[in-house]
Structure 1
Amino acid sequence: MKTYLLFPDRALPTEPRPPLNAQVLTEDLELDPVIEAMAADDKFLAETARRVVLESLTSVDDIRYRQAVLQDCLRNEEIVRELYDIAVDAITRQRKVYGWLSDRNPSAILGHAVQVLEIFVSLLRTLRAIAAEHGDEFASDGFRRFFTMTLQELDDAYFEEIDRHLRRLRFRGSILIGAHLDHGGKPSAIVLRRPEHGKRTLGEKWESFTHPTPSFRIAERDEAGANALTVMRGKGLNLVADALARSTDHILSFFVMMRRELGFYLGCVNLAHALEDRGLHTGFPLPVPAERHEFSCDELYDVSLALVSSGSPIIGNTVDAGGHRLVVITGANRGGKSTFLRSMGLAQLMMQAGMFVPAKSLSATVVNGVYTHFKREEDVELASGKFDEELARMHEVVMQIQPGALMLFNESFAATNEREGSEIARQIVHALLESGIRVAYVTHLYDLAHGFVGDTEAYFLRAERERTFRLIEGDPLPTSFGGDLYRDIFPAKPGTPGAHESVT
């Protein structure tokens, strides 16, 4: 049995496959508050959420498939939590059975498998009852297939067959083993036989009385004989024990996958509640195929900032960059430029995980990876200068990034003088664009930003001078707004010469 709730045609791989830049991406985009909100203090949910969010989907169809499943989870939260609890209960209870066993001979393996299978059968019955009662309340292809599979494979005949096997495998009385005798009387080809439980006729009873089957008993103190019989019993049970153990492992793998896949969706539900409690909006994005370039959003906000802010108003931005592959963001310091850049990156990751996004609406091209190059603090160990460190990190990005990716720069290459930093950055951006990589660049380097004015690939946003934390469409201005700070600190007195002159 397969769950197929995260992918339409395959299961989630057993081993995580995070991108090479997972740690850098987590730090630069400040992903941890999102993961913590999804986990709700559950370590397993945190691990699952981090893995699925970072292992981005690259197919529009897969993203839409997962969005539909998530929408079902948001509408039917109580039922989904019941399903998740079934999976958790199965995994937890079988571990307790396993913990009491130290002897791994065939009899012990068989006894363990029987106990575990009894637990699993009980929980599978509950799963089937939920599917029968609530299956019609789900609309997504993922859940409809999951419930249809449950009803078809876990039908009455299945449970009758399982119950019949369990009754036989408990071996309340004796067991029947067949064998051949080799030279010297040694048994070989030992197999477990099905006992005959049919009602015997009077003649058969008389026959067994007058012509008893050859048999013998092992004396109570014959330890060697008892050990030999135990070995023979083990050989007879070996094939059955192995088959039943593999069957329980198969069912366990189903519950493990069910827990992980539903765990991701419950993490999304937890995040939705956290944002709803703060009065914040969310929406399901429109993924755009990679061959089309598009980015537009309505009231997009930084979800990580929203989760850690205590009462501060959260400002969203509405942007329509159309088919431009380069977004250049300039303007006033502390005007919301870096916040918007993070919101772009987080929204891209959430969209490609099949999640809702922190916006009323969003439409974006699907990329094959998100990469960041954000400013860092000075190297405290003095192993290298800040500019050298920036170039070293850029080299790491270049070795990983592929055509079709999204590259986010935040005040990069500003550790040297403006002319040198602008020229280096400009050449890097041109090389990325020529390689088919989308770029968003936050910078206060006017020479760099102005160099892209007139470029048909470029779209310009500017943080407002009044620090409304909203970005507006507009070309870069030849000022760092230092005059604003100067006038705030040293206000000119009325009538003073130069009181109305701007300082730039």
Structure 2
Amino acid sequence: MKTWLLFADHDLPESPQPPWNAEAIVQDVELTPLVTAMAQGDRFLAEVASRVLLEPLTTIEEIRYRQEVLLDCQRQEAVVRELYDLAVEAITRERKVYGWMSDRNPAAILQRAIEVLEIFVSMLRTLRQIAAEHQGDFESAGFGRFFRMTLDELDDDYFAEIDRHLRRLRFRNGVLISAGLDHGGKVSALVLRRPNQERQSFSDRINSLTHPDPYFRIADRDEAGANALTEMRGRGLNLVADALARSTDHILSFFAMMRLELGFYLGCLNAQHILESKGHPFAFPDPAPAEDDAFSSDGLYDVSLAFVSDDPVTGNDVRADGKPLIMVTGANRGGKSTFLRSVGLAQLMMQAGMFVAAESLSLSVASGLFTHFKREEDESMTSGKFDEELVRMHDIVQHLKPGSIMLFNESFAATNEREGSEIGRQVIHALLDNHIRVVFVTHQYDLAHSFTGNEDTYFLRAERERTFKLIEGEPLPTSYGDDLYQRIFGHDPHTAKDRVDS
């Protein structure tokens, strides 16, 4: 049994494989509010959401496969939640089965495995019933195969065979074991045997009375003999107990994977309901090949900000198809960093197979997401801010590959503008030459202005009125810092300076 709801041809790997810069991504694009919204207080859902978002898909086919499964989840949410609850119940009930001695006693191993298998058989019967009732309600390739596999493998013959095995494994008529003696007279070659006839005919029972099989009885006070018999019985049961325990582990792993994969989709539904309750739009993006440098959006907004804010969140329209460099300039606190986070979150959500926080979005698939945001100064004082920026950039370069997307937020601004702009230009040109898309937020006019006239560059600018909406426009030689000064202190900074000087 396989679920294969996240991938078309394999399960989610058992061990998480986050990118080397996962911590920086979570911090820079502020991923935590999205994960929290998906989890709704469930720690397991939080772990699943965080893991899947940080292990992005890299092909259009994989993304569309998940999008179709998620569409089914949206249409049939009640059934999906029922399937998820079934997996949770199976795992929970298995954990409650008494078995503290099962690691030392083959008989205990067998008894626990029988109890667990009986639980799982009940759960599998329910799963089969759900599949039979709702198979026709789902349209995606993922759910279609899941239900077909369930009905094909969990047929009447399967349950009948399990029932026969369970009856035999209870050993109501005792245990039949064959054995031999080695050269030292010790018992060897113990093998558990199935009775030749599980149900004796009337003539066989009459014959057993007239011609009984030879036997011996251990005396009631013969502890050594009883212990020896118990040991022989355990050795005979060992192989079948181990085999049955492995079988139950296999079924348990199926329910665990089912819970994990459905958990991601439930997280998506949880986030969707919050966006709906706040009136925010969302849509399935159109993934494009990396070489297209596609980026076109209507109303793209910061989804994490939408989850934590009760105020309206401003979206942005972008028409940057074929433009590997997006340069964002303009007024301080005008929405530039928020836009940058919205780009990073949209890239992660799209490549997880999710919807995105926009009215529409077409975006190229990235081979990797990298961020270089400004940091606080090194508290250990072992290096300055500019040194730290260069060290981080050096580390990022070691992992970059063609098709990646690189987000810069006020990078290389910890030195004077002339030097910072020159370093920024060289870094950007090197990245573009290696087919890496760049979104660069900066207040350095010299850096941004040097790319005007470049046909590969798309310019966005935060407005002076601070509507938090970006418009297409080349950089201006001011970020309107005076406006903020007047808003905070209530007077013109130049007049204030004159008063101090006088």
Q: TM-score range by the shorter chain?
A: over 0.9
Find the counterpart in structure 1 of residue 169 from structure 2: 169
- Cα–Cα, structure 1 residues 385 and 487, in superposed 2: closer, same or farther, change >3 Å? same
1:328, 1:99 → 2: CA distance?
A: 62
Equivalent in the alignment of 1:388: 387
> What stretches of structure 1 of length at least 5 have no aligned partner?
497-504
Match of 1:237 in 2: 237
Provide the rounded CA distance (Å) in 2 between the counterparts of 1:486 and 1:197.
92
2:407 & 2:332 partners in 1: Cα distance? 18
**Cα distance change on mapping 1:257 and 1:228 into 2, 3 Å:** same
- TM-score scaled by structure 1? 0.95
Name the CA distance, whole Å, in 1 between partners of 2:125 and 2:100.
26
Partners of 2:421 and 2:444 within 8 A in 1: yes
Which residue of structure 2 lines up, in the alignment, with residue 300 of structure 1?
300
Encode CA deviations 1:425-471: one digit per residue, 9 max, x unaligned. Answer: 10000001111100000001000000001112111011111111111
Could you report, residue by residue, the CA deviation over 1:372-391 in whole angstroms, capped at 9, with x for unpaired residues? 11111222332211111111
1:19 counterpart residue number: 19
Taking structure 1 as reference, are residues 485 and 84 closer, same or farther at Cα in structure 2, changes over 3 Å only? closer
Report deviation, 1:85: 0.9
1:464 correspondence with 2:463: yes
Residue 72 (structure 2) pairs with residue 72 (structure 1): yes
Distance 1:455 1:75 in 2: 46
What is aligned with 1:378? 377
Q: Distance in 1 between matches of 2:86 and 2:479?
A: 59
2:229 aligned partner, one-letter code: L
> For residue 316 of structure 1, what is the aligned residue in structure 2?
315
- 2:128 touches 2:150 (CA, 8 Å); kept in 1? yes
- AA partner of residue 191 (structure 1): V
Deviation (angstroms), 1:182: 3.8
1:265-280 alignment runs, 5 A limit: 265-280=265-280
Pairwise CA distance, 1:9: 0.7
Task: Give, in whole Å, the separation in 1 of the partners of 2:323 and 2:127.
Answer: 49
The 2-side partners of 1:103 and 1:314 are apart by 57
Counterpart contact for 2:179–2:188, Cα < 8 Å: yes
Aligned to 1:453: 452
Matched residue of 1:299: which SS?
strand
Question: Are the equivalent residues in 1 in contact too, given 2:84–2:259 (CA < 8 A)?
Answer: yes
2:199 partner letter: G
Q: Distance in 1 between matches of 2:109 and 2:150?
A: 28
- Which amino acid counterpart does residue 397 of structure 1 have in structure 2? I
Mapped to 2, the partners of 1:198 and 1:98 lie a distance apart of 32
Bigger shift: 173-182 or 332-341? 173-182
Deviates more, 1:453-462 or 1:53-62: 453-462
In 1, the alpha carbon distance for the partners of 2:285 and 2:185 equals 76
* 1:501 counterpart residue number: none
Q: Which residue of 2 aligns with 1:361?
A: 360
CA distance in 2, matches of 1:152, 1:428: 57
Aligned residue in 1 for 2:290:
290
* Bigger Cα displacement from structure 2, 185-194 vs 4-13: 185-194
Q: Distance in 2 between matches of 1:486 and 1:25?
A: 32
CA drift at 1:221 = 0.7
Alignment partner of 1:322: what SS? coil
- Tell me what 2:500 maps to: none
Report the alpha carbon displacement of residue 124 of structure 1 after superposing the two structures with TM: 0.2
1:52-201 equivalence runs, <5 A: 52-102=52-102, 104-183=104-183, 185-195=185-195, 196-201=197-202
Offset at residue 205 of structure 1 (A) = 4.1
Which residue is 1:252 aligned to? 252
Q: CA deviation at 1:398?
A: 1.1
After superposition, the CA RMSD in angstroms is 1.6
User: Are 2:233 and 1:225 equivalent residues in the alignment?
Assistant: no
Q: Which amino acid aligns with 2:281?
A: H
Of stretches 268-277 and 102-111 in structure 1, the one that deviates more from structure 2 is 102-111
Residue 485 of structure 1, CA deviation: 4.2
SS of equivalent residue, structure 1 residue 172: coil
In the aligned structure 2, how far is the partner of 1:289 from the partner of 1:393? 28
Q: CA, structure 1 residues 190+259, in 2 after alignment: closer, same or farther (shift >3 Å)?
A: same
CA deviations 1:275-319 (Å, max 9, x no partner) are 11111110000000122211011100000111111x211110111
1-structure distance, mates of 2:231, 2:413: 77
What SS does the corresponding residue of 2:178 show, helix, strand or coil?
strand
Kept in 1: contact 2:99–2:112 (CA 8 A): no
Q: Give the stretch that moved more between structures: 270-279 or 118-127.
A: 270-279
Once residues 84 and 458 of structure 1 are traced to their aligned partners in structure 2, the CA distance between those partners, rounded to angstroms, is 47
Q: Once the two structures are superposed, what CA deviation does each residue of 1:174-199 show, in whole Å capped at 9, x if it has no partner?
A: 11112234446543322122222333
Q: Percent identity?
A: 68
Task: Check 1:399–1:230 CA distance in 2 against 1; reply closer, same or farther (3 A cut).
Answer: same
Q: Give the structure 2 partner of residue 502 of structure 1.
A: none
Post-superposition Cα deviations, 1:253-283, rounded to whole Å, max 9, x if no partner, equal: 1011101000111111111011111111100
Cα distance between partner residues in 2 of 1:99 and 1:455: 70
**Distance verdict in 2 for CA 1:381–1:44, change over 3 Å:** same
Read off the aligned partner of 1:49 and give its amino acid letter: A
Q: Which amino acid aligns with 2:227?
A: N
Per-residue CA distance 1:403-438 (angstroms, 9 max, x = gap): 110000001111111101000010000001111100
2:498 alignment counterpart: none
What one-letter code is carried by the residue in structure 1 that aligns with 2:483? D
Cα distance change on mapping 1:86 and 1:486 into 2, 3 Å: closer
Aligned equivalent of 1:426:
425
Deviation for aligned residue 1:239: 1.6
SS of alignment partner, residue 41 of structure 2? coil
DSSP 3-state at the match of 2:94: helix
Q: Which amino acid aligns with 2:14?
A: T
SS at match of 1:400: coil
Contact map agreement 2:87 2:256 (CA 8 A) in 1:
yes
Q: Partner of 1:213 in structure 2? A: 213
TM-score w.r.t. structure 2 length?
Answer: 0.95
